[in-house]
Amino acid sequence: MLDQVRSLGRNGLQTLQTLGRSGVFLFFVIFTSQSIRISFPLLVRQLYSVGVLSLVIIIVSGLFIGMVLGLQGYNILVDYGSEQAIGQMVALTLVRELGPVVTALLFAGRAGSALTAEIGLMKATEQLSSMEMMGVDPITRVISPRFWAGFISMPILAMIFSVVGIWGGMMVGVDWLGVYEGSFWANMQASVDFQDDVMNGVIKSIVFGAVCSWIAVFQGYDLVPTSEGISIATTKTVVYSSLAVLGLDFVLTAVMFGGV
């Protein structure tokens, strides 16, 4: 009994310590001083590996999710004779919810885990230490560009996801099931508000981008440098990112769309 209380206390303290460490770490990552001449090329390279290379999975998933939404939506709406509203349904679902959330989940699995494993392996092979000994701060050189690349990529990927999804919904609804194209687009235009829907979706994906990148780089930097440590940290990145995204999504939705 006493042992259990003791281990509870120890685990609690450890969790708090890790949280504190990750906060200080984030501070250093954001407020680094490095000249643009050096940091810009590093950022571009990370934008490529984090953002551009995630495009395929984002586009393919967006397309299929949009198509499924079109199909399911049609089957429900047609019973009420309001299948023209399918454009509005697909667009609102994607822009408000599925775009940011599914992109963030895919991003955590595709890019977040890769970031953690890469940084962890650099730590395990002493590359980070050797950088320090060469008088180069690894946080500035390695971590910061990766964090910012994730932060910048996520909203763009989420927007691409929504656009592709709407196109997929249109393919199924209009081209296949024969909803009138004019009412598909007109309904969408009339009901999707730029400020309330599009911008709120973008804000969500910015928050998710920051959180997922933060978790990924911190788990990589803080892991125990063994092969087991890397596998644990990679798993943690995906699990924590997914939970954080889903939890934050509820909070953000409640703030944005709840109390009106």
Separation CA 61–CA 26 (nearest Å): 31
What residue type is 138 in one-letter code? Answer: P
Stretch binding another protein (CB under 8 A), from 97-105, 136-144, 203-211, 212-220: 136-144
Cβ 252 to another protein, closest distance in Å? 36
User: Which CA distances in Å does 188 have to 12, 62, 157, 168?
Assistant: 49, 18, 21, 14
Residues written for the chain:
260
Answer for which of 14, 18, 75, 125 binds another protein (CB under 8 A) is 125
* DSSP category for residue 43: H
- What Å distances lie between residue 25 and 11, 32, 118, 213, CA to CA? 21, 11, 18, 13
**Contact with another protein (CB under 8 A): which of 1, 2, 135, 260?**
135
Applying CB under 8 A, which part among 13-21, 79-87, 134-142, 245-253 lies near another protein?
134-142
Over the window 28 to 47, marking each residue x when it contacts another protein by CB under 8 A and - when it does not, the resulting string is ----------x---------
Residue in this structure with the two tokens 């969790």, named with its chain if needed = 15
Q: Binding another protein by CB under 8 A: which of 129, 189, 226, 231? A: 129
Nearest to another protein of 19, 136 (CB atom): 136
Position among 60, 136, 190, 239 found at the interface with another protein (CB under 8 A): 136
Contact 229, 103 (CB under 8 A): no
Interaction site with another protein (CB under 8 A): 38, 125-127, 129-130, 132-137, 141
